[in-house]
Every structure is written in C-alpha cells, then in structure tokens.
Amino acid sequence: MDAERHAHARPLLSLVVPFYNESAVIEAFFNAIVPVLCGIPDIDYEIVCVNDGSTDATLDKLLAACQADFRVRVIDLSRNFGKEAALTAGIDEAEGAAVIPFDADLQDPPEVIPKLVAQWRCGYDVVLAKRAERRTDTYAKRGTAALFYRVHNAISDITIPDNAGDFRLMSRQVVESLKQLPENRRFMKGLFAWVGFRTAEVEYVRSPRIGGKTKFSGWKLWNLALEGLTSFSTLPLRVWTYIGGLTAGFAICYAAYLIIRTWVRGVDVPGYASLITAVLFLGGVQLIGIGVIGEYVGRIYMESKRRPVYIVRDTYRLGRR
C-alpha cells in the first residue's frame, strides 16, 4: 500500500533562493512566485530561502513568510558567506525531485518556471534558462560578460553556455552529483556545467530589478571571473612556459645579433634607454607570472584547510525549528 501511494505521489519541486539584504523585495517576490508555482499541474513545491547573513529585516520577513506558508523553509547562515556558498547551502537542503536556483530580485521571470518543468517532464536532467538578450545590463557589463565566456570556453575543457546564469532546473540525480563535489572555493556555473547530463534550453527575456540594488560590484564580478578561469583551467599557468621560452629565444637571437654587429662594426656604447626598457619589461613579465602562480597557490592554500563552505545558524519551517 505504501509503495502504491508513493508511486502516485506528486513530485516535489524545490525553489532555492539566496537572500542578502533583500527586505525591500521579499513581499513582491512571494506575491509573484507563489501563484506561478501553484499553477503548475500535478506538482508540489517548497521554497528554500537562504538568509546569507543579512543585516536588514530580511530574516524577520522570511520568518513571517515561513509562518504563513508551510511550503516555505528558511536556512539562516551564521554570517555572509557569499552567493555561491548560499546557493550551495540551499541545494544541499532542497528535498525536491527537481531543484531550481532562483534570484529574489525577480529579474528572472517566474513565468519561465513552468516551461522548465515541462522540459524536465520530457526527460531532460538539466533545463537551462538562457537569456535571449541582455538589454537590462549596461553596455560595459554586456561586453565584459561576453569576453569572459569567450575566454573561459577557449581555455577550459568545460564549456559554460553563453547568457545562462544560475537559473535552471536540475533533476535529483544532478543535485546528488553536485553534492559530491568537495571544493571549498565554488564557481557554481562551472560546477553545473562540469557534472553534465542531458540538457535542454529555454530562452527568456530578463526584466529589471523590482527593488533594491545589485550586490555585485565591478570588483566582485572581476574576482568571480578570476574564480571561474582558475577553477577549470591550468592554461594561465602553462602559458608562462611559452612566454618564458619566447623571451629566452628572443634574448638569444638578440645576443647573436650583438656579437655579429660587434665583429663587423666594432664596440659601441649601449643606450641607457633601451637597457632600462628591457629591464622593466622583463621585470613586469616576471611579476605577472608570479601573480598567476600566486592565484593558484592561494586556491591550494584555501582548499587545504578543508573548512566548510558555509555554517548554518538555524533552520526554520512552519511548526518546527
């Protein structure tokens, strides 16, 4: 009887949403997302809200939503660990047969979710929500994003789809595969691509933020890009072998030229300007190489500590804490 009831049970869909100082959008978020999830036929859902160390009223509003709806769960982290860690915490806690990472700012339209579920029901393990265009981004952000995807996919064995963020549907098998990955420094878009599985795409148009402001400054985006490039490729290290070889080859050729010129024309006084230029150029090249090596050594150092990706202060759900 239990097996028969389980066979006819409606699948559970988990929506994983990181929150960091998003008190201004929480009410609008639930007003927009709940009707869409309720409208998906033959499916149950839960909303896993991860409070990533917010300093405003975010936690209080999330707890109010949790008390009003048993399908809302709140994971309260002990401090701000960053979006990648908060996303990891939500995915670890999600119980659904399918899991969808989602942003609280509603730039990703909730109306796309039923389309993702429809493709999942067709047998796909991963359904990407891919932006048809990026009009809501600044020109600089569009250009740097395109450059990042082009460079990353050129130097890495893992291809990250262009214009696809964290918004996607993943089956339980994909989620369990992600949970096996042990690294502390996590670049989630790369990890999503690394696990593979059968993938479909759904295109959509992104909307402006409904409130608040983005938590990703230009500096944070730059660091995230470095994280992505160094997480899935060693080419930045390997390329310095070729740079060193070319520089040494050029030096040998130039030395041979000087010897021949001295034989033919005699000895002349070398120029200070050319000498100092060569010294500064080679010094700069060496420092860049050391910086690239340092980036990888730093990653090794952080990973060797084996610290947890996040720490949960408390979890909340209706009638239980």
190 and 239 assigned to the same domain: no
Instruction: State the CATH number of the domain containing residue 65.
Output: 3.90.550.10
205 and 73 assigned to the same domain: yes
Residue 186's φ and ψ, nearest 5 degrees, are -115, 130
Q: b/e for 290-309, b at 16 or more Cβ within 10 A?
A: eeeeeeeeebeeeeeeeeeb
The per-residue pLDDT for 49 is 92
66 and 120 assigned to the same domain: yes
* Domain membership flag for residue 147: yes
251 and 210 assigned to the same domain: no
The number of distinct structural domains making up the chain is: 2
159 and 271 assigned to the same domain: no
Tell me the whole-structure pTM to 2 decimals: 0.69
242 and 181 assigned to the same domain: no
158 and 128 assigned to the same domain: yes
DSSP alpha helix (H) spans, 196-268 = 218-231, 235-265
102 and 248 assigned to the same domain: no
The per-residue pLDDT for 66 is 86
Instruction: Give CA–CA dist 152/160, Å, rounded.
Output: 8
58 and 127 assigned to the same domain: yes
* Domain membership flag for residue 6: no
Instruction: Give CA–CA dist 108/237, Å, rounded.
Output: 36
CB 312 within 8 A of CB 92: no
Instruction: Give CA–CA dist 155/233, Å, rounded.
Output: 6
* Domain membership flag for residue 164: yes
The per-residue pLDDT for 54 is 87
Positions of the chain with pLDDT under 70: 1-8, 133-149, 151-156, 208-235, 248, 258, 262, 265-274, 276-277, 280, 318-321
Host domain of residue 38:
11-230+308-316
Strand order in the sheet with 199-204: 199-204, 126-131, 164-171, 98-101, 12-19, 44-51, 72-77, 312-316
CB 55 within 8 A of CB 249: no
* Domain membership flag for residue 201: yes
The per-residue pLDDT for 7 is 43
The per-residue pLDDT for 8 is 47
The per-residue pLDDT for 26 is 87
Nearest to 205 by CA among 282, 132, 142, 260: 132
104 and 207 assigned to the same domain: yes
The per-residue pLDDT for 210 is 59
Query: Token digits for 304?
Result: 């060797």
Query: Token digits for 73?
Result: 């769960």
* Domain membership flag for residue 3: no
The per-residue pLDDT for 82 is 83
* Domain membership flag for residue 5: no
* Domain membership flag for residue 294: yes
53 and 74 assigned to the same domain: yes
296 and 283 assigned to the same domain: yes
Q: Tell me the per-residue pLDDT of 168-198, one tens digit each, with 9 for 90 and over.
A: 899 999 899 888 888 877 777 778 888 888 8
Alpha-carbon radius of gyration of the chain: 26
Query: Token digits for 173?
Result: 């098998």
* Domain membership flag for residue 4: no
Burial of 259 (0-12, 13-18, 19+ CB in 10 A): exposed
Instruction: Give CA–CA dist 88/136, Å, rounded.
Output: 27
